């Protein structure tokens, strides 16, 4: 028989993060959401708990855990606050993980300790106005001059790029051209580490977002931003391919976030349905409401199993690209569907921003867009079928 039960170590982590989410994160979530303020105090405590270092080696200040442990922590945080959950997800899987996966020993020793401690954050500079899913649209350039990379261009929607503890961004840039097997040419895309204090690197005004309002997101601009040649991350010309592998992993983490959000909506709606009385009985006694809650529970169960399965294949060293796409697709839709149903169950109160279900309703839509749209996931799954 297949055993899907978590071992004692995972269960302990899950319980610890759940208690932290309820006792520390939840009480300040509405305030930070309303103020669009970054929760520095919460982040500091998460750093002290070791959450930012969960999947990294102890020699760099990490906890020596694995990616599934990170996913479990993200799920528990997302139940009460998606902004906090995405800050952890982006800080680890998008910010620090590229350095851990592809960095030189010197780069790891320079950047990972602070990133693992949560005292610094890194950004993942991929998306541009004309490039995201389409790498061919990358317009940012990095030219090698006198032993330095000189970057020019801009990036959009970069998480963790403008806080007081944001320290660098890993940016994709065109570093030349390459010849394909058929003789045609294509852009050579590499990745460059750009520290926050680099002259010519500007963090633009934060976006006014519909959701994830306590998460930090900015556009970036490079104007002759110059960094040493050794700031190349990984092999030259492999930047986009390396980022795609990072995104495959990140989809498991985003699926965990979506699962947590879907669970949070179910928790809130179930509790409300048991206490809200109309026509002399709790609304949960009405079949229309109880069936809606049953469907919400089914979505949570399916999305959790999907990301567990993807993580299991990843940790086993097997190809998990398709499973990660399925998990991201299922969990993102579960979060959005559960947020809609929870808001409906709450009625007018569900339309008030101070309620958790209202925040989940605003927050969850991005789960069908960020780190690969629903359409991209469908494309990946279809390709796995030979279509």
Tell me the sheet residues that pair with 201.
Answer: 222
Bridge partners (DSSP) of residue 153 are 222
Strand 166-179 with 121-125, pairing = parallel
Non-local (6+) Cβ contacts of 279 within 8 A are none
Contact in structure between 217 and 159 (CB atoms under 8 Å) = yes
Judge residue 251's burial from the number of C-beta atoms within 10 Å of its C-beta, 0-12 exposed, 13-18 middle, 19 or more buried. buried
Using DSSP's 3-state secondary structure scheme, residue 161 falls into coil
Q: Cα Rg for the chain, rounded, in angstroms?
A: 21
Q: Return left, alpha or beta for 352; rule: phi > 0 is left, psi -120 to 50 is alpha, else beta.
A: beta
Active site residues: 371
**Within 13 Å and on the Cβ side, how many CA atoms surround 229?**
5
Nearest to 107 by CA among 220, 226, 229, 197: 229
Q: b/e for 56-73, b at 16 or more Cβ within 10 A?
A: beeebbbbebebbbbbbb
Q: Is 212 left (phi over 0), alpha (psi -120 to 50) or beta?
A: left
Q: In terms of C-beta density within 10 A (0-12 exposed, 13-18 middle, 19 or more buried), how is residue 356 classed?
A: buried
C-alpha separations of 288 from 108, 273, 357 in Å: 55, 11, 19
């Amino acid at each position: 028989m297949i055993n899907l039960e978590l071992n004692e170590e995972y269960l302990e982590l899950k319980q610890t993060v759940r208690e932290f989410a309820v006792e520390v994160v939840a009480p300040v979530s509405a305030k930070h959401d309303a103020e669009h303020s970054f929760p520095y105090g919460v982040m500091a405590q998460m750093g002290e708990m070791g959450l930012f270092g969960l999947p990294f080696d102890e020699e760099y200040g990490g906890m020596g855990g694995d990616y599934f442990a990170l996913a479990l922590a993200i799920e528990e945080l997302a139940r009460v606050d998606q902004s906090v959950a995405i800050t952890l997800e982006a800080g680890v899987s998008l910010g620090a993980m590229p350095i851990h996966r592809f960095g030189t020993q010197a780069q790891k020793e320079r950047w990972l300790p602070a990133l693992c401690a949560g005292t610094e954050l890194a950004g993942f500079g991929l998306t541009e106005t004309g490039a995201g899913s389409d790498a061919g649209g990358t317009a940012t350039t990095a030219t090698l001059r006198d032993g330095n990379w000189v970057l020019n261009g801009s990036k959009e929607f970069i998480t963790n790029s403008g806080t007081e503890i944001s320290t660098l961004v890993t940016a994709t840039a065109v570093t030349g051209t390459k010849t394909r097997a058929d003789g045609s040419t294509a852009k050579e895309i590499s990745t460059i580490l750009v520290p926050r204090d680099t002259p010519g690197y500007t963090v633009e005004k934060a976006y006014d977002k519909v959701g994830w309002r306590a998460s930090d997101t900015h556009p970036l601009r490079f104007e002759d931003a110059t960094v040493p040649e050794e700031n190349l991350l990984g092999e030259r010309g492999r930047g986009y391919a390396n980022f795609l592998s990072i995104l495959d992993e990140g989809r498991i983490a985003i699926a965990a976030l979506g699962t947590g959000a879907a669970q949070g909506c179910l928790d809130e709606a179930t509790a409300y349905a048991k206490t809200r009385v109309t026509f002399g009985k709790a609304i949960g006694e009405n079949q229309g409401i109880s069936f809606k809650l049953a469907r919400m529970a089914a979505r949570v169960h399916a999305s959790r199993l999907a990301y567990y399965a993807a993580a299991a294949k990843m940790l086993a060293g097997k190809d998990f690209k398709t499973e990660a796409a399925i998990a991201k697709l299922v969990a993102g839709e579960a979060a959005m569907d559960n947020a809609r149903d929870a808001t409906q169950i709450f009625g007018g109160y569900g339309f008030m921003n101070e309620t958790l279900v209202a925040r989940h309703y605003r927050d969850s839509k991005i789960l069908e867009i960020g780190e690969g749209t629903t359409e991209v996931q469908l494309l990946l799954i279809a390709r796995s079928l030979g279509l």
